Amino acid sequence: MLYLLLLAPLFTAVCCLFPLGSRWWERINVLGALLTGIAALYCSLNVFLVGNIDRTQAFLVIDQLSAVLVLIIGIVGTTCCLYTVSYLRSDLKNGELTERQVGRFFGLLHLFVATMYLAVLADNLGVMWVAIEFTTIVSALLVGFYGNKAALEAAWKYIIICTVGIAFAMLGIILTFYAARGVLGSDEISLSWRFLYPVAAKLDPSLMKLAFIFILVGYGTKAGLFPLHTWLPDAHSQAPSPVSALLSGVLLNCAIYAIIRFHLLTTMAVGYNFSGRLLIIFGLMSMAGALPFILVQKDIKRLLAYSSVEHVGIIILGIGLGGVLGYTGAILHLINHALGKSVLFLSAGTLAQTYHSKLIPRMQGIGQLLPITSKVFMASLLAIGGAPPFGLFISELNVATRGFQAGGPGLGFVFLMVIAVVFTGLIYFAGKMYFSDLPARFPRGEQFSVNHILLLLPLCLLISQGIYMPGAVQDLIAKVVSFMTAGGVY
């Protein structure tokens, strides 16, 4: 089944390479996306509901942690792929793309999804590294897809900075490999998570310390930790919106996933104080560093991108603080942010497409232009800002509580304050866009369509995360957290 999860998007990607015409590509895309989504859902729920942890496959493994990621990729990835159909149609109509490019776009999109699945399913540190590097390469092509100056610039910065970062991560992997081989004694299994965790306590601490630094710098670049985040606002703002949604909603999570894995390993080898403290520092830096950019911003997609930096900071901080509350908060936030931010990027993308501009001052009166999409946009913006009844509020509260407990009142207060100030920035721009009058040259109103359902579904999930989580979901989270507090050993 795990292989199916990888093969479905790959196969879809291959199909899209054939010159079939945009109708057929769309159909293939929808089919492939749904198939992949179902497979992802099956795989992850299999872990949670049946408790069936598949560790028989070579190189691939799915445990509680990766199941969460698979679930996120499944939901967000499928939504984005489906949303792409209408997005590309309107791009085609506006003459931004040629029909030939449509097929290539779908192909790359599915390839991108496949590499992300590989990254979270990989049992092998090296395979994971390769997969993550591949996500960079593929998504860089997607970022630069429009081929204009800005897109190329963004893509170039993205690929160069991430490649450099990832190179450092390789050093960390080599050091881990060396440390693990000293304990496990065999080449073949020394890079495998499932063999590494049980012996983690025996790994050499000073080596693991250094390894973690390299890993943090490496995957941290990919995750967008401040000050390694520099590629992120460029890439997110220039990519086609469904790609931005994927980048922000899932790709960052894949990198965070890698960091979590290594953090668990390092914690057991070195003790809590080292990697936890580093993560706390980087988490806070990301939150605080992104804040000024959110307060003073003109480009809506850059605004959202910086907000992603901030939220990555929150997740990393939650991981760094640890404990049941910290992990619960971080995992919930991982899920919630993915849901909220992808909806936000998709709706913002549609708005930007309609206005032919991404500049906030130009996007006046969104409520009159696209009543439904703009309401979704507002709701998800509030969600991202951390307002109830959306899930992010709860996850932030969990992290904050842990912050007050483990880091003292000062840390908790700074954390809450930064989030609140970010909220003010977001609500300021939201107010400017929503509570204003639409220039006369735009047509008004829109029809309810399948796209809106695609946007509303994650939003409903978010609300459920914020006020009523069914018992099953609570169990699911509890399982992941207990997996993490146990140090990743199953």
Partner 1 sequence: MLDFFTYVFLIAGFLMLAGKVITNNITLLAIQSLALSIIAFYLGLSGGAVNWHMVLIGGLTFAVKVIVLPWILYRLVDKVAARRVVPLSIGLGSSSLIGVLLVGLTYSYVVPVLLKEVQVGGQLLPVALSTVLLGCFFMISRRSALSQLIGVIVMENGLFLCGIAVTGGMPLIIEFGIFFDLLVGALVMGIMTYQIRDTFDTLDTKFLNKLKH
Partner 2 sequence: MGGLRDTFFILMFAMYLAGAFLPLLLKGKPKLSLGLGCSLGAIAGFLGLGLGLGCLLSPEPFEVHFGTILPGVPFDLLIDKLSGFFLATISLVTFLVSLYSRDYMKIYRNENVAWWCFCYNLFILSMTFVVTVNNTIVFLIFWELMTLTSYFLVTFEYRHQQVRKAGFSYIVMTHLGTVFIMSAFFILFNGTGGWDFAALASHSGDLPGATRSLVFVCALIGFGTKAGVVPLHLWLPQAHPAAPSNVSAIMSGVMLKTAIYGMIRLVIDMLGTGPAWWGGLVLAVGVISALIGVIYALMEHDLKRLLAFHSVENIGIILMGVGTSMIFYAWSMPIIAAIALAAGLFHVLNHAVFKSLLFLGAGSIYYATHTRDIEELGGLIKKMPQTALLFLVGAISISAIPPFNGFASEYQIYQSLLNLSYLKISGFWSMAGILSGAALALTGALAAACFVKAFGVSFLALPRTEKAAGAREVPLGMRLSMAPLGALCLILGIVPQVALNTLTGIAGQLVPGAQIPAIGTYNLNLALLLVAIMAVLFGLSRLFGSQKVRVSQTWGCGIVPNASMEYTAASFSQPIRRVYRTLLQPERKVRTQFNLLPYFGYKIHFEEHIKSVIKDYLYSPLRRITIGASKKWRCIQSGDINLYLGYIFVTLIVLLVWAR
Kindly list the residues in this chain that would bind partner 2 in the complex (CB under 8 A): 156-157, 160-161, 164-165, 168, 209-210, 213-214, 216-217, 221, 227-228, 230-231, 233, 278, 291-293, 295-296, 323, 325, 328, 332, 382, 387-389, 393-394, 397-398, 400-401, 403-405, 409, 412-413, 416-417, 419-421, 423-424, 427-428, 431, 434-437, 466-469, 471, 474, 477-478
Rounded Cα distance, 219 and 28, in Å = 33
Residue 419: C-alpha distances to residues 288, 333, 400, 425 (Å): 9, 13, 10, 10
Closer residue to partner 2 (CB): 159 or 184:
159
Closer residue to partner 2 (CB): 21 or 408:
408
- As measured in angstroms, the least distance from the Cβ of 233 to partner 2 is 7
Rounded Cα distance, 316 and 341, in Å = 17
| Residues paired with residue 487 on neighbouring β-strands, in sequence order | none
* Beta carbons of 222 and 132 less than 8 angstroms apart: yes
Tokens (6 digits) for 49: 């509901």
- As measured in angstroms, the least distance from the Cβ of 146 to partner 1 is 11
Taking residue 187's Cβ as centre, other Cβ atoms within 10 Å add up to: 10
- Contact of residue 223 among partner 2, partner 1, none (CB under 5-8 Å per partner type): none
Closer residue to partner 2 (CB): 170 or 210:
210
- Contact of residue 155 among partner 2, partner 1, none (CB under 5-8 Å per partner type): partner 1
Residues 6+ apart with CB under 8 A from 9: 32, 36, 110, 111, 113, 114, 117
SS3 62: strand
- Contact of residue 382 among partner 1, partner 2, none (CB under 5-8 Å per partner type): partner 2
- Contact of residue 319 among partner 2, partner 1, none (CB under 5-8 Å per partner type): none
- As measured in angstroms, the least distance from the Cβ of 133 to partner 1 is 5
Closer residue to partner 2 (CB): 101 or 436:
436
- As measured in angstroms, the least distance from the Cβ of 488 to partner 1 is 21
- As measured in angstroms, the least distance from the Cβ of 206 to partner 1 is 5
- As measured in angstroms, the least distance from the Cβ of 136 to partner 2 is 14
State residue 359 phi and psi, 5-degree precision: -85, 130
Closer residue to partner 1 (CB): 196 or 476:
196
Buried residues in 392-429 as b, exposed as e (16+ CB within 10 A): bbbbbbbbbbbbbebbeeebbeebbebbebbbebbbeb
Closer residue to partner 1 (CB): 230 or 485:
230
* CA-closest candidate to residue 130, choices 140, 116, 144: 116
Residues 6+ apart with CB under 8 A from 263: 212, 275, 276, 279, 319, 320
Residues at the interface with partner 1 (CB under 8 A): 124, 126-127, 129-130, 133-134, 136-137, 140-141, 144, 147-150, 152-157, 159-160, 163-164, 167-168, 170-171, 174-175, 177-178, 181, 187-188, 191, 204, 206-207, 209-210, 233-234, 237-238, 293, 296-297, 302
- Contact of residue 291 among partner 1, partner 2, none (CB under 5-8 Å per partner type): partner 2
Rounded Cα distance, 123 and 151, in Å = 34
Token pair 């990027």: residue = 345
